[in-house]
Structure 1
Amino acid sequence: MYAVDLHAHTRFFHGHGRVAEHYDPLGVRLLAGAARMRGLDGVALTNHDYYRSFDLGDGPDSTGPFAATIPGIEVTTTHGHVLVVGPDPPTRTEPGDLSPEEAVELAHDRGCAAIVAHPYRNSTVREVEADFDAIEVNGKHPRTEEWVRELADRHDLPLVGGSDAHYPVEVGRAYTEIEADELTPESVVAAIREGRVRPRVHRGPFNRALRTLYRRVHEEKGGLQNPEWLETPGVGEPPK
């Protein structure tokens, strides 16, 4: 059994391409180091619309300072975000260029899993009939977990967990337990597709405070509505 955060970022800012590229080598070390400190075996690098490979020299069975890194990318589709995780994610996608169906096809063509990211925040991906492999319980908004579980039941899909960390201290607030004999990108994909995965959410005081902050931020942006409105949950506007 391995504990892997399937949704995390190496930078806490977007844009500023040249500066960000210089920051990424430090960001991935901070992220993988924090993941190790929080007891995780691995963390997926799912930056927005790009993937860079980093060799930190450590794996899940190492006693070194870094958790294993799993390749991935968070694709901004025409209806919201789709996580592509596995051995060969695309190195770059154009925001808003791919439909969710095309993102799924791209993932599968490259041996990756396609996961619906934060389905009740700035997304209508969940309304699309595509061959997704899993649906995410997002660490920023676990209060929507009941909705997500009902959504997964309706589509007969497994659930995974990801922190959606942009700051290293956020990593692991939600993660995925993966039943596998070894931790490789291929074994992660196989476990997701075969349902050998379970989401887990840390609900301590620090994480509760972070979620309260993010809820206020996203409500001000119009991306969330009250979870009690179960019949018509808020989705906000899809990303442009």
Structure 2
Amino acid sequence: MKIVVCVKQVPDTNEIKINPETGTLMRDGVPSILNHDDANALEQALRIKDSNPDTEVVVVTMGPPQAKEMLQECIAMGADETILLSDRALGGSDTWATSNALAAAIKKIGSYDLIFTGRQAIDGDTAQVGPQIAEKLGLPQVTYVKEFYMEGTHITVKRALEDGYELLKLKTPCVLTAIKELNTPRYMSIKGILKSTKAEMKVWSAEDIGVDLNKVGLKASPTNVFKSFTPKPKGEGLKVEGDTAKELAGNLLASMREKHII
């Protein structure tokens, strides 16, 4: 079995700031990490490999050359092969253009049985790339996967909804997008870290994957970000004091009448 996992290197949102003048993300000095949901997608692929040693896990990402560091982490966690799509022609791609490039790369890989992606990237929060890849490859898909069971070529998944969940059955090949409830990603192992330092990493250009240059990159991206901004901090809340519940309630009502809320 061959499993393809699509991942993304993202800025650590705990460290990120927005330039108040330009409204753009300030990435200088901000560490990059493996996207959280993508780590869950990789972990599920590795669990399948743990149960079926003949499984091959191939990790694919699109990004700048420094994304190699993230791919090394994926090897250290247990992935067998990594592929980096890196080309100026792919720069500035939105979700539509990104999925075109990733779908072309997956076609080049070929002979896959299962494709995993994270639900969404923490720097975009669109949750669009995984489903778009499925559409462009003509594959069945299930998003927001929180539980996974597999018997042969038959898969049963539990899909999270706002008000419950769905149990769905499907056959491979298919595309699944993972959420954090699916599993707990493993740490890199010492053996894996040593392996990652010697592993050969494939770097493919737009020409290598044979993608239509009119369907990738900034000019081919129909999405435009109108504005990015940091929400203004909220003012201090109202603190109501009193020695008894009755006194607290009375003081609260008095404050609300004073502010013409009631």
TMscore range, shorter length? 0.3 to 0.5
Q: Which has the higher contact order (CA 8 A, sep 6+)?
A: 2
Choose between structure 1 and 2: higher strand proportion: 2
TM-score normalized with structure 2 length: 0.30
Q: Which has the larger radius of gyration?
A: 2
